[in-house]
Amino acid sequence: MQFPWLKRDDLVAVPHDSGGWIVKDPLTLQYTHLDDIEYSVLDLMDGRISIGKMLERARQLCPERRLSLDDLGQFVRVLAGHELIRQSGGGDSVRLNPQATSTSILRLVSPLFRILRLQCRLLNPSRLLDAAMPLVSTFYKPAVVRTMMVVGLLSIMVVGLRFGELLRALPSMAEFLGPQNMVLMLLVFVIVKVLHEAGHAFTARHFGAECNECGIMLMVFTPVLYTNVSDAWLLPRRQRMLITAAGILVELSIASMFALLWSYAAPGTTRALLLNTVVLCSVNTIVFNGNPLLKFDGYFLLADWVGIPNLASRASAVTQETLLNLVTGRSSVSVEPARFHRFLLGYGLASAAYRVLLTLAILKLVQVMSHEWHVQFLGTFLSAVILTGFIIIPATTFLFRVFDHDDSGPLSWIRLTISTVVLLGIALFPLPHSVIAPAFVEPASGPVYATLPGRLDPVARYGDHVKSGSVLANLLNIDLEHSEQNLRGRLNEIRLQLDSLKKNPATANSDLIPALRESRTAAEKRLTEFLSESASLVIRTPTDGVFLPPPAVPKQNDPLPEHWHGTAVQDRNTGAWIQRGTLLGYVGTLADLTVSAGVSEDDVEFITKGQRVEFLLQAGSASSVSAVVESVERLAAKSLPAQWAVAGLASGQPTEEGLLPNAVTYFVRIRLDDCAGAPPPLYSVGRVRIHTRSASLLQRFLRYLRLTF
Q: Where are the alpha helices (DSSP H) in 307-409?
A: 311-328, 338-372, 376-387, 393-403
The whole-angstrom separation of Cα 379 and Cα 221 is 12
pLDDT on residue 674: 63
Report the largest interatomic distance among the alpha carbons of the chain, rounded to a whole angstrom.
150
Taken as a whole, the chain contains a residue count of 709
Q: Cα–Cα distances in Å, from 654 out to 172, 582, 650? A: 16, 18, 11
pLDDT on residue 295: 83
pLDDT, one tens digit per residue, over 170-227 is 776 656 656 667 777 888 888 898 899 999 999 999 999 989 889 888 765 667 788 8
Q: With CA atoms as reference, report the closest residue to 443 among 628, 591, 641.
A: 591
Q: Is 455 within 8 Å of 575 (Cβ atoms)?
A: yes
More confident residue, 89 or 359: 359
Number of domains in the chain: 5
3-state secondary structure of 531: helix
State whether 514 and 602 are in the same domain: no
Q: Is 483 within 8 Å of 567 (Cβ atoms)?
A: no
State whether 350 and 453 are in the same domain: no
When pLDDT is cut at 50, 70 and 90, the band that residue 586 belongs to is very high
Q: Which distant-in-sequence residues (6+ apart) come within 8 Å of 189 by Cβ? A: 222, 224, 280
State whether 572 and 668 are in the same domain: no
Q: Which distant-in-sequence residues (6+ apart) come within 8 Å of 196 by Cβ? A: 225, 247, 248, 250, 251, 289
The whole-angstrom separation of Cα 631 and Cα 639 is 18
Q: Cα–Cα distances in Å, from 219 out to 120, 213, 222, 573? A: 11, 18, 5, 57
Q: Is 31 within 8 Å of 20 (Cβ atoms)?
A: no
Q: How far apart are the first and last CA of the chain?
A: 58
The 3-state secondary structure of 619-675 reads: CCCCCCEEEEEEEECCCCCCCECHHHHHCCCCCEEECCCCEEECCCEEEEEEEECCC
The whole-angstrom separation of Cα 662 and Cα 384 is 24
Q: Is 278 within 8 Å of 262 (Cβ atoms)?
A: yes
Of 189-198, 209-218, 245-254, 647-656, least confident by mean pLDDT is 647-656
Most confident of 108-112, 270-274, 567-571, 686-690: 686-690
| CB count in 10 Å sphere of residue 684 | 21
State whether 530 and 645 are in the same domain: no
Q: Is 456 within 8 Å of 473 (Cβ atoms)?
A: yes
Q: Is residue 34 predicted with pLDDT exceeding 80?
A: yes
When pLDDT is cut at 50, 70 and 90, the band that residue 241 belongs to is very high
Q: Which distant-in-sequence residues (6+ apart) come within 8 Å of 4 by Cβ? A: 47, 87, 88, 89, 90, 91, 92
Q: Is residue 280 predicted with pLDDT exceeding 70?
A: yes
Q: Is residue 41 predicted with pLDDT exceeding 70?
A: yes
Q: Is residue 102 predicted with pLDDT exceeding 60?
A: no
pLDDT, one tens digit per residue, over 46-68 is 777 887 888 888 778 777 667 77
Average pLDDT, the chain: 82
3-state secondary structure of 17: coil
When pLDDT is cut at 50, 70 and 90, the band that residue 257 belongs to is very high
Q: What percent of the chain has pLDDT over 70?
A: 87
The whole-angstrom separation of Cα 202 and Cα 681 is 57
The whole-angstrom separation of Cα 327 and Cα 414 is 9
The whole-angstrom separation of Cα 317 and Cα 518 is 101
State whether 119 and 250 are in the same domain: yes
- Give φ, ψ of 555 to 5 degrees: -75, 135
- Give φ, ψ of 386 to 5 degrees: -65, -45
% helix, strand, coil for the chain, step of 5: 50, 20, 30
Q: Is 102 exposed, middle or buried (0-12, 13-18, 19+ CB in 10 A)?
A: exposed
State whether 386 and 318 are in the same domain: yes
Q: Is residue 147 predicted with pLDDT exceeding 90?
A: yes
The two beta strands, 652-654 and 659-661, are antiparallel
More confident residue, 223 or 150: 150
pLDDT, one tens digit per residue, over 527-555 is 899 888 888 899 999 889 999 998 887 77
Q: Is residue 520 predicted with pLDDT exceeding 80?
A: yes
3-state secondary structure of 219: strand
Please say which residue of 249, 276, 307 terminates a domain: 307
When pLDDT is cut at 50, 70 and 90, the band that residue 74 belongs to is confident
Helix (H) or strand (E) holding 520: helix 512-534
Q: Is residue 363 predicted with pLDDT exceeding 70?
A: yes
The whole-angstrom separation of Cα 136 and Cα 138 is 5
Mean pLDDT over residues 353-373, rounded? 78
State whether 383 and 405 are in the same domain: yes
3-state secondary structure of 500: helix
CA 363 to chain centre: 9
State whether 440 and 457 are in the same domain: no
Q: What is the DSSP letter of 566?
A: B
Of 91-100, 107-116, 446-455, 467-476, least confident by mean pLDDT is 91-100
Q: Is the pTM of this model over 0.75?
A: no
State whether 95 and 116 are in the same domain: no
Q: With CA atoms as reference, report the closest residue to 678 among 631, 617, 629.
A: 617
Q: Is 448 within 8 Å of 542 (Cβ atoms)?
A: yes
pLDDT on residue 409: 62
b/e sequence 190-203, b meaning 16+ C-beta within 10 Å? eebbeebbbbbbbb
pLDDT on residue 103: 42
The whole-angstrom separation of Cα 23 and Cα 85 is 12
When pLDDT is cut at 50, 70 and 90, the band that residue 99 belongs to is very low
The whole-angstrom separation of Cα 651 and Cα 642 is 9
Q: Is residue 143 predicted with pLDDT exceeding 90?
A: yes
Q: With CA atoms as reference, report the closest residue to 245 among 208, 196, 293, 287.
A: 196
Q: Domain containing 35: what range?
A: 5-102
Q: Cα–Cα distances in Å, from 675 out to 216, 381, 585? A: 58, 48, 22
The whole-angstrom separation of Cα 265 and Cα 681 is 34
Q: Is residue 146 predicted with pLDDT exceeding 70?
A: yes
> Side chain identity at 169, as an amino acid letter?
A
Residue 617 β-bridge partners: 686
The whole-angstrom separation of Cα 70 and Cα 51 is 12
State whether 380 and 280 are in the same domain: no
Q: For the chain, how big is the Rg over CA atoms in Å?
A: 38
| CB count in 10 Å sphere of residue 222 | 11
Q: Tell me the torsion sign for CA atoms 472, 475, 481, 484.
A: negative
The whole-angstrom separation of Cα 133 and Cα 609 is 69
Q: Is 436 within 8 Å of 687 (Cβ atoms)?
A: yes
Residue 593 β-bridge partners: 443
State whether 145 and 251 are in the same domain: yes
Please say which residue of 399, 428, 457 terminates a domain: 428
More confident residue, 517 or 372: 517
Q: Is 686 within 8 Å of 617 (Cβ atoms)?
A: yes
Q: Is 25 within 8 Å of 82 (Cβ atoms)?
A: yes
- Give φ, ψ of 335 to 5 degrees: -90, -5
pLDDT on residue 90: 44
Of 25-29, 545-549, 691-695, least confident by mean pLDDT is 25-29
Please say which residue of 584, 609, 625 terminates a domain: 584
Q: What's 614's domain CATH number?
A: 2.40.30.170
pLDDT, one tens digit per residue, over 106-130 is 455 555 455 556 778 888 899 999 9
The whole-angstrom separation of Cα 485 and Cα 115 is 79
Mean pLDDT over residues 664-687, rounded? 82
The whole-angstrom separation of Cα 115 and Cα 161 is 44
3-state secondary structure of 699: helix
Most confident of 269-283, 292-306, 494-508: 292-306
pLDDT, one tens digit per residue, over 152-175 is 999 999 988 888 888 877 776 656
Q: Where are the alpha helices (DSSP H) in 207-236?
A: none
State whether 385 and 458 are in the same domain: no
Q: With CA atoms as reference, report the closest residue to 202 among 164, 175, 242, 167.
A: 242
